[in-house]
Amino acid sequence: MIDATLIARPVTTAQQVHDWLHQRILRGDLPPGARLSETDIADQIGLSRQPVREAFIRLASDGLAEVRPQRGTYIGKISARAVLSARLIREAVESDLARMVAGRQADLAAMEAELGVQDRANARGDVAEFIASDDRFHGAMALAAGQAAVWQDLERLKSQMNRLRHMSMRVFDRSETIGQHRAILTALQAGDADAAETAVRTHLRQMLTELPQIAAAHPDYFTD
Amino acid sequence: MIDATLIARPVTTAQQVHDWLHQRILRGDLPPGARLSETDIADQIGLSRQPVREAFIRLASDGLAEVRPQRGTYIGKISARAVLSARLIREAVESDLARMVAGRQADLAAMEAELGVQDRANARGDVAEFIASDDRFHGAMALAAGQAAVWQDLERLKSQMNRLRHMSMRVFDRSETIGQHRAILTALQAGDADAAETAVRTHLRQMLTELPQIAAAHPDYFTD
DNA sequence: TATACCATACTTCCATACCAGTAAAGTCTT
DNA sequence: AAGACTTTACTGGTATGGAAGTATGGTATA
């Protein structure tokens, strides 16, 4: 048995450049508003400008960069409007997913496991790992609802939120987040759809209070 | 007062090529699975391959095309999984939006107007206009909820569904769709959040019955 | 001092040439 | 005739050069 994802995947250089930059942007290594230069990056990694340019185009499609013709390419600032929109969508979708999970006998072991990971990451102050585990927790819920594809579709929206979270994580205590996660899981285990929905909405509304504070602390990283 | 959107908008050739192909794909002029050739299109519109190539990259990011390195570029087939995922997301989000609209004194004139447009388009058999009006109807609801940005974020997902609808519209009678739209509007006007949510969910679940029939009629246009 | 102008040094955008991988037609061998 | 191998004609991927537009800083002028 051959893994089709391997034979069908001659990853191009442009794709690798894109992935590299994508990760750096999400982690906050490349701050919002920073300037990107085709030539600089090309020289830096020993390539021609072309693959770098194509990576920029992909980033722009991701909503992470902005190419201004004949002017320059910049890391997109975090749009408060976009974050709020993404949050609303997640709340709506994950509420429904939670109801679906609560209504069936789903395997919740994966979600349970992530709670432990988050405890340890929080204790270590490992921001990146905490965020990754947080994502896996929510992804596991989508999987338990039999809707893995839905989680994939939200990727683009999650990107914007994750950039914000890399900033907020350094400011806020995450034990509260873990508690909210546990509340969700408990409701799901009890098969209580109403409680699960409430827990999900409460959890995702947390960002409504955090966003203004983060934005106030880094005004140059945001647009309205 | 100068319109900033005008001075800041030197539309590149690649962008125009992208928009052109994007529209043709959504309208079904370019059928799923069709082959795209950089050289063919470049010759056809009198350009070099480069801008066409960059348009392909954008289309791939849109999820409308697939670039297979060293093999060829193809119009993406319609993924049944993706359509179902998009449908679920829309049902979740628009349910919440409907509740928001029902709970406030919103201006619903725009939605009302689209119902008339749909009546006339349906009578004429104008598929494209009907779909456009359908989109505007749902978009007006998002606007009435004060969440225009949310509707923008769903654009990518709507693309996949719209391709499907261009096929289904020729098969199904749309008067039922109009009736469902009216049910939504009536509930909103009455300020009945529960009825509005139910009407929205009923309306968007229509696709669950249509998708299998469309897919069966055009098996070569779909992947699982 | 303030302002208009202009030369210059960038930037991205597009055209062209070349490279590498794929697939299918054609040829040879058995 | 059937199979394996070779050739050839494509495909997209990358490199490079120059064109077009923009920002910047200096300079002349009022």
Please name the member of B57, B62, B89 whose beta carbon is closest to the beta carbon of A93: B89
Please tell me whether residues B104 and B212 are part of one structural domain: yes
Please tell me whether residues A36 and A55 are part of one structural domain: yes
CATH number at residue B59: 1.10.10.10
Those residues of chain A that have pLDDT short of 70 are: 1-10, 171
Smallest CA–CA separation between B145 and chain A, in Å? 12
**CA B198, B199, B200 angle in degrees (round to 5)?**
90
Please tell me whether residues B99 and B52 are part of one structural domain: no
CA B54 to chain centre: 23
Smallest CA–CA separation between A138 and chain B, in Å? 15
Tens-digit pLDDT profile for residues B116-134: 999 999 999 898 899 999 9
CA atoms of A213 and A192, how far apart (whole Å): 33
Please tell me whether residues A116 and A212 are part of one structural domain: yes
Indicate the SS3 state at residue A218: coil
Q: DSSP string spanning A77-101?
A: PEEHHHHHHHHHHHHHHHHHHHHHH
Rounded CA–C1' distance between B50 and C13, in angstroms: 10
Please tell me whether residues B175 and B127 are part of one structural domain: yes
Tens-digit pLDDT profile for residues B80-119: 999 999 999 999 999 999 999 999 989 999 999 999 999 9
CA atoms of B141 and B103, how far apart (whole Å): 13
**Of A199, A156, A194, A86, residue with least CA distance to B62:** A156
Domain carrying residue B136: 79-223
For strand D, the positions having any atom within 7 A of a protein Cβ are 10-17, 20-23
> Residue B8's pLDDT band (boundaries 50, 70, 90)?
very low
How many other C-beta atoms lie within 10 A of the C-beta of residue A126? 16
**CA B30, B32, B34 angle in degrees (round to 5)?**
65
**C-alpha distances in Å from residue A149, one per residue of A97, A170, A209, A210, B36:** 12, 31, 29, 29, 27
CATH number at residue B160: 1.20.120.530
**Amino acid occupying residue B111:** M
**Of B176, B179, B180, B111, residue with least CA distance to B142:** B111
Q: Which nucleotide is nearest to A49 (CA to C1')?
A: D15
Extended strands (E) in B58-212: 65-68, 72-75, 78-79
Q: What rounded mean pLDDT belongs to chain B?
A: 91
Please tell me whether residues B123 and B206 are part of one structural domain: yes
The total number of structural domains in chain B stands at 2
Please tell me whether residues B64 and B97 are part of one structural domain: no
- Tell me whether residues B54 and A58 touch, CB distance under 8 A: no
Domain stop point among A58, A76, A94: A76
CA atoms of A78 and B105, how far apart (whole Å): 31
**C-alpha distances in Å from residue A39, one per residue of A158, B70, B169:** 30, 26, 49
Tens-digit pLDDT profile for residues A102-148: 999 899 999 999 999 999 999 998 988 999 999 999 999 999 999 99
- Tell me whether residues B93 and A88 touch, CB distance under 8 A: yes
Indicate the pairing of strand A222-223 with strand A78-79. parallel
Does nucleic acid strand D have an atom less than 7 angstroms from the CB of B67?
Answer: yes
Please tell me whether residues B53 and B86 are part of one structural domain: no
CA atoms of A61 and A44, how far apart (whole Å): 23
Please tell me whether residues A149 and A66 are part of one structural domain: no
Q: What is the DSSP letter of A171?
A: T
Contact B150, A89 (CB under 8 A): yes
pLDDT higher for B9 or B84? B84
Please name the member of B54, B81, B153 whose beta carbon is closest to the beta carbon of A57: B54
Which of B88, B151, B157, B204 has the most A C-beta neighbours within 10 Å, making it the best mutation to test the interface with A? B88
pLDDT for position A10:
59
Domain stop point among A24, A49, A76: A76
Indicate the SS3 state at residue A9: coil
Please tell me whether residues B128 and B212 are part of one structural domain: yes
Contact B29, B40 (CB under 8 A): no
pLDDT for position A8:
44
Please tell me whether residues B186 and B219 are part of one structural domain: yes
> Backbone dihedral region of B95: left (phi > 0), alpha (psi from -120 to 50 degrees) or beta?
alpha
Smallest CA–CA separation between B13 and chain A, in Å? 11
| Residue A124 φ/ψ, nearest 5 degrees | -80, -15
Domain stop point among B26, B57, B76: B76
pLDDT exceeds 70 at position B10: no
Q: What is the mean pLDDT of residues B189-210?
A: 96
CA atoms of B156 and B159, how far apart (whole Å): 5
| Residue B34 φ/ψ, nearest 5 degrees | -65, 150
* Structure tokens belonging to residue B12: 């590149």
- Tell me whether residues B85 and A157 touch, CB distance under 8 A: no
- Tell me whether residues A147 and B12 touch, CB distance under 8 A: no
Please tell me whether residues A35 and A124 are part of one structural domain: no
pLDDT for position B170:
72
